[in-house]
Structure 1
Amino acid sequence: MEYIYSSGNGTTKDKKKAFQRYLKSAARGNNVGQYNLGDCYFFGIGTTKDEGKAFHWYLKSAEGKNSNGQLSLGNCYKYGIGKTKNDDNAFKWYLKSAKGGNSDGQFNLATCYFFEIGTTKDEKKAFQWYLKSAKGGNSDGQFCLGCCYENGIGTTKNEKKTFQWYLKSAEGGNCIGQFSLGKCYNNGIGTKKVEQKAFKWYLKSAEGGNSNGQYGLGTCYLNGIGTTKDNEKAFQLYLKSAEGRNSNGQCGLGYCYLNGIGTTKDKKKAFELYLESARGGNSIGQYNLGNCYLNGDGTTKNEEQAFQWYLKSAEGGSSYGQGNLGYCYLNGIGTTKNKEQAFQWYKKCAEEGNHLGENNLGYCFHGGIGTKKDEEKAFQWYRKSAEGGNYWGQNNLGDCYRNGIGTEEDEEKAFQWYLKSAEGGNHSGQNNLGYCYKYGIGTIKDDEKAIHWYSISAKGGNSYAQTSLRNVNESKKTKDDEEKIFCWYLKSAKEGNTDGQNKLGYCYLLGIGTTKDDKKAFQWYEKSAKGGNSSGQYSLANCYFYGIGTIQDRKKAIFWYIKSS
């Protein structure tokens, strides 16, 4: 009868009557009634809230071997409810509850072993009890078991089992399990990467009020992961997460303020949020705070502080912090120059799979910086970086193939990697690609394309490209009268000649025989491209890719690149 009154099943719900029933049952020595009476006093159900009496009845129930009573008594000792806090006693009663088959007791006991509460730290025992709790259907236990498999806590790392247990936890309605499942789908951990499913589970977690889920969902909206990009929604979700004291949410919100995403740019607010996140122990927050001090964003520039926060971030396991710490040691920023330390931190960064770190480690092996020079290792790390999509790694891998560094010379491969780097916006890659077109390295000689890539690189501030472009233009002046050339191209273009239209666009792009005008360059390239000229199509693709004379549009760029090929 006790459960009927508290749940409202089968009769009218009446909290006072429920309390009276539990009181009578408890007085008769019924351990279930004693446990329920403890709950009434603890939550103030049908009576005045009284933690001392709650403890008293939980103790009675626990001594009567009720596993829920033992669990609640453990909680009283752990949190100092109605009794002085005592971790040893908390552990003792959690152990009894766990051995009685209570999945919540098993979960709490595992947590004691993991966090050294009332007992010695023992990750293997923590794993075993999380396993029992999880198998008992406890969604918290299932989540923590997933964490154990993900991080190798008390067991061997196993991504498939990580995914399976997060899935069980998520399907059981556990919000942090839902967030973790979203993370698996987002990063392809133990399952195929499916961005739409990542979005779906982050959404469920966020709707359940989980601050990690709110952060994850915000990131989806920021980057268009499984949904349409929406900066305003990203900002609002990061704000919710940050208001929940979530250090990742604070980072995301700081990023929005720093870059004016979904809100007005405010570097001071960005700095304050990064500071809060960093003080909370978030390694990415510490890295971002280091950047603020290095660049003077929202605060006074302070290289020593930048170094200290990079150090904290690096020691906290952030590959970004490790990379920047290596940079500080290499260049003596906020600390004494130390090439050996630079090498060690770049190595840690690279071993974490950071693609820029892989490039930097290759650079150390290439130049013998803080380590013995080893061109084969340099090549291997540049290749890892390049294959991971890093534009510096792609440029440096191109250098390796072009000059036979750590591998056999291969001009065609050099050209292909310079092309990838250049298309990714790397100015050194653009300059090297221009050089390839100028001298026919790994491709057919093409002065027009050479000047095109030299121009883009030069605009980005690459001094080598600026020199090359100046030399090319000087040599052209000795051969031709630029104004006459421009007039001939203009006449040809107006007569509908697509090659003339492309070359006229080229004159406007570089200011050959006329005033430089990116918009007119774009317009003539567009005419040439639509007329079926493959060179014009390629030039138009570049305009869309880099936003020359038009709004940047990568989709249109890809369309015209494909057309030109």
Structure 2
Amino acid sequence: MASMIESAPTTESSPTHQAQAETRATSSMPDITQFSLEHSPDIFTIICCNDSFQLALDHSTIKALLRVCRHVQPLLSSKVARFHSWCQNAGLCNPDGQMRIGLTPSDLIAISLHCDDPVTADRSWLEDQADMGNGAASYLLARMLQSEIDSQTDDDDEPEEYTNRQQIFHHLESAAQAQHPMAQFRLAECYRNGVMVDKDHTKAVELYRNLADRGIPRAQIALGQYFENGEGVEQDYNNAIEWYSKAADQGSEDGRLHIVFLRGWFSFVGHNVEQSDVAALNHWQEVSTKSTDPVIKPIATHMVGWMHYLGRGTVRDEPMGTKIIRENKSDEFPLGEGECLAANWAPIKSDLPAPRKFFELCQLGSERDWLCRHLMAVCVFQEFGATNDREKAAGIFEQLANDGHSDSQFWIGECYQYGRGVSQDHKTAFERFSKSANQGNSYGQWSVGFCYYWGWGVTEDRTKAAEWFRKSAEQGNRDGQNALGDCYDNGWGVPRDIDTAVFWYRKSAENGNNPAIINLEGLGKWP
């Protein structure tokens, strides 16, 4: 028997929860053999329809109670079948007979008890039950309306859709007031995300806390996120971890991985723990490979890329780190190689949850670790989860460049090269690129090559340009590889050699560089 929320705790996956439930059941439940069915005819309904009652018991006790109540099963089974027939007539079932709208057993029972025979596919009886306070009926109506909206292929009738969304919200509110857990959870999501209603984190927290106190793991995780982000409540990492732990104790892998994710950042910046790059990398790697969360997974993966790129907590492997950062880019986390390592000038302008969270965490460590401060500047520069302020970003890059960090030297060089956040100055740009390049930074080497090629801040010298492109290309930098291919393709600074040009173009193209692919297509060498 499951509870009314899809993610209710299951004792099979949590020995700790099972032991606690068995203790509660033993201490609070009388001997079930003492029950007189004649004097307690509603026990079956209590077990099936009362979510709080279910949460207080382990599955074996519930099964035993149901066996005691066998005399009501024939009545129940006929009503469930009747309701299922109604669902088929109402078009709520898939071809295999399974309902398209997931309902828990307790929902099915709570609605089935009022499904008379015969009954048409009309919703009036269901609406009557909703009006009388049947939370399961209100929740089903909300789900039915949402399903109808989702199945529509056009937006021609926007007023009707608006009306339907108002009805959905009304039904969710009614079901939530009737203490329907899943309705409360979905209503909290509406307030959290501003769907069908203005955002209201305070109301969302109130709903999540009610469910979290009742032991619902997904609500505990959501409440943990609120404490972690400081929305609707005062930011408190200890409280966040406490709620994540409650979910993890019930077998929630998502709750456990949220804790692992935070421990990665705490280890990286030495926040209330000993600083350890190795621990940080291990934590982030676990989240990257095991989590499905759309916020923490891409952030963890991005940081795994940086750790390999810089050789922090592991052997340095710049191509591997670059590849991880490049392939981690997505619509939800649009910070890839071009935007983070190669200083793409088109601002990302992303205010999605993952970018906002990433910027917040970089701020957390900005006074403790140079990389956090550098990435915070990248976020500010690219408008990635932060307000755009290129002058501020350039100031941070300048300071970090003076401290000798090659990636910041490259970035401030780009700022001077194109006058972004500072006055344009090709000579200063070349000096910054050179400092970065001399430390082995492949992007700095690529940029020094371009300065020599175009004569920006230095005397034009295409032989030297090719030399610097080669240094970058041999480190696996796809931009350097494409530039070196151009040199061989056109005889710039090196003897013209199409075969060698194709070799370097292909290296770059295999790393996903579109200009290199176009060059190969022009030579008839792609794919």
Normalised by the shorter chain, which TM-score bucket?
A: 0.3 to 0.5
TM-score (norm 1): 0.38
| Larger relative contact order (CA 8 Å, sep ≥ 6) | 2
Structure ID, larger Rg: 1
TM-score scaled by length of structure 2:
0.41
Q: Which structure features the higher share of helix residues?
A: 1
